[in-house]
Amino acid sequence: MGGSGVQFTETMRGFASTSALEDYSEGFERGRADDSPLEFTVTVKADDVDRLVDEREHEAELTGTVTAPALSPTPMRVEGGRFNLLVRDAEHAGERQMVYSMPMVADDGRHYFLEGYKQIANDDGLDLWKDTTTLYVTVHEGDQSGPVAAKGIVTIHLADFAKQLTTMKGIGGGPLDKLGALAKFGRMFAGSLNETFGGVFARPSDFNPDAPPREHRALRLPPAEVRFFRTDDDVELRLTRFDGGGKGPVILSPGFGTSAQAYLLDTTDTSYPEYLVEHGYDTWILDYRASPALESGSTQFTLDDIAAYDYPAAVAQVREVTGAESVQVMAHCIGSLTFLMALALGLEGVRHGIASQVTFHPRAGALNELRSGIYAGDAIQALGIDTLTTDRDDLSWGERLYERALQVYPSGDEPCGLPFCRRVMFMYGEVYDHDRLNDATHEHLHEVFGVANMTTFRQITRILREGHAVTADGRDAYLPATDNLRLPISFLHGENNRLFKPEGSLLTYDYLREANGPDLYTRTVIPDYSHMDLFIGKDAARDVYPVITAELDRFN
């Protein structure tokens, strides 16, 4: 761009109160009743559009004046103000903010600091105009750490917005440089909004494959011990061990189409393996044959294969290495279902299991029945498609068609502009609750998922139609084997799970209690959580991990 940049001038008007200082809306209403306006006109200037667009903070300069008669009888000057354009909101997945930081000086020498933000979120309804024109304002005495002097809301009025458009211009360089700077700024602005609001305008790729590797948080774990081993049907699997002490050993088993990385994602302050190690557990994470990190992930197999071969081999491997007489297993989603199936087939060496979300009686949410690729498994495989993937792995015409179809695909209660999320929605359903994720997890969750085979999808479809676990060819091989499930099992479910409803684990819990008595089984429903967010949620270490670990502790 030859050092070219962009500049525009913005006017916002509203009200702020010097007495109602706890809530923005209350401050606005009290300020309006007290005739206490707050207005400003500022110029946003970025001398280098490349830096504005490419750097994560998207920062520009702010200069101008602020009028707030309750604070100063004359307009206050903005000195050294900063504007951050559409930065990611770290605590809210997929949302962005426009942030205003404005040190102000009054004519009498008093200093104030105005901080404000616009929250860009894809809420219900078409609220793009409201989000991008509503600024929530707090004014401090002195600097940003000073006491709150006023609070309220200001907005862009239509007439001011029309005038603002006339001030938008490129600066620096020649005419073509200025035009190019405006175009680059416009693409960045529109692209960020499209990522949040989605729809047919969403960008086609989830991430830039040419971008440098992201910085990872160093996990608080002992050195990993990785062991590859083979099953009796000659499939290579993987166990990753973090020896945290004498408790356990406990095997963590992830969901279908995800790898061990589902437990090791470093985008929250504490992962579940870190929590277990901190509490003294010898922790093993299993990549069974459905893991996209293994060659077997892209092959055809059934849930019966996982139950009959993978769990026996994994338990035997851990017992052999540790010398433990028995292990504990904490299994999630399809990992949970196949773990219970393995027990029914006579799996030995397990003294206690935790079954998270999916059990012998899975009940899918109604919307997932309409949307999920699970229910389309027969039709998709009939077209000659043997696998689906959450990765955007080529640029063929078929892949482009898939991308565009996903952009108009119904996304249910949680619309999201990321094509990755739409792929997950299509393949599985509502796997996570966006409100439970921080932005870093949302941005990097693609690292966890991958390929999934249609043969397994077809069996899941059959199980959902039958109402309980059956073999791939429809045999009732699992429910009759209740004698093999005479061991402590803790059932775990998210209250808001729309992928597999809590009703399913309740049915299995009641079924086993009736068959084997009530003393062996417990069931816990986690309030306000959904499915996978039990393990990747931004507050899971506070809300969920202690509950799960307390169940493990009962059998150590």
Q: Is 98 helix (H, G, I), strand (E, B) or coil?
A: strand
Confidence of residue 124 (pLDDT cuts 50, 70, 90): very low
Question: In this model, does residue 208 exceed pLDDT 50?
Answer: no
Radius of gyration of the chain (CA): 28
Share of the chain above pLDDT 90, in %: 57
DSSP state of 308: I
Q: State the distance between the two ends of the chain, measured CA to CA, in whole angstroms.
A: 64
> How high is the pLDDT of residue 172?
86
Share of the chain above pLDDT 70, in %: 82
Distance set, CA 475 to CA 22, 38, 302, 341 (Å): 62, 71, 13, 13
Of 42-46, 71-75, 248-252, 516-520, minimum mean pLDDT range: 42-46
> How high is the pLDDT of residue 84?
87
Of 109-113, 261-265, 457-461, 521-525, minimum mean pLDDT range: 457-461
- Nearest CA to 354 out of 493, 526, 477 is that of 493
Alpha carbons within 13 angstroms on the beta-carbon side of residue 57 total 8
pLDDT, average across residues 516-539: 96
pLDDT, average across residues 380-384: 48
Question: In this model, does residue 474 exceed pLDDT 60?
Answer: yes
Question: In this model, does residue 127 exceed pLDDT 70?
Answer: no
Confidence of residue 314 (pLDDT cuts 50, 70, 90): very high
For the stretch 264-303, pLDDT in tens is 999 999 999 999 999 999 999 999 999 988 989 889 999 9
Of 1-10, 11-20, 28-37, minimum mean pLDDT range: 1-10
DSSP state of 199: G
Strands (E), 128-244: 134-141, 148-155, 169-171, 225-230, 236-243
Structure tokens at 117: 């933000």
d(CA 519, CA 77): 71
Of 2-16, 131-145, 180-194, minimum mean pLDDT range: 180-194
DSSP state of 294: S
> How high is the pLDDT of residue 417?
58
- Give me the domains of the chain, ranges plus CATH numbers: 5-197 (no CATH), 225-553 (3.40.50.1820)
Higher pLDDT, 406 or 270: 270
> How high is the pLDDT of residue 446?
82
> How high is the pLDDT of residue 370?
44
Question: In this model, does residue 184 exceed pLDDT 50?
Answer: yes
> How high is the pLDDT of residue 125?
40
- Nearest CA to 498 out of 467, 470, 532, 448 is that of 532
Question: In this model, does residue 138 exceed pLDDT 60?
Answer: yes
Tokens 């608080």 locate to: 220
> How high is the pLDDT of residue 207?
43
Q: Is 296 helix (H, G, I), strand (E, B) or coil?
A: helix
Question: In this model, does residue 366 exceed pLDDT 90?
Answer: no
Cβ contacts of residue 223 below 8 Å, gap of 6+? none
Tokens 């104030």 locate to: 112
Question: In this model, does residue 216 exceed pLDDT 50?
Answer: yes
Q: Is 322 exposed, middle or buried (0-12, 13-18, 19+ CB in 10 A)?
A: middle
d(CA 418, CA 432): 14
Of 28-37, 148-157, 211-220, minimum mean pLDDT range: 211-220
Of 313-317, 354-358, 447-451, 510-514, minimum mean pLDDT range: 447-451
d(CA 340, CA 342): 5
d(CA 407, CA 217): 32
- Pair type for strands 96-105 and 281-287: unpaired
> How high is the pLDDT of residue 48?
86
* Helix segments in 84-127, DSSP class H: none
Q: By the 8 A CB rule, do 272 and 545 touch?
A: yes
> How high is the pLDDT of residue 139?
97
d(CA 547, CA 329): 15
- Pair type for strands 236-243 and 225-230: antiparallel
What is the distance, to the nearest Å, from the Cα of residue 55 to the centroid of all Cα atoms in its chain? 23
> How high is the pLDDT of residue 49?
85
Mean pLDDT, all residues of the chain? 84
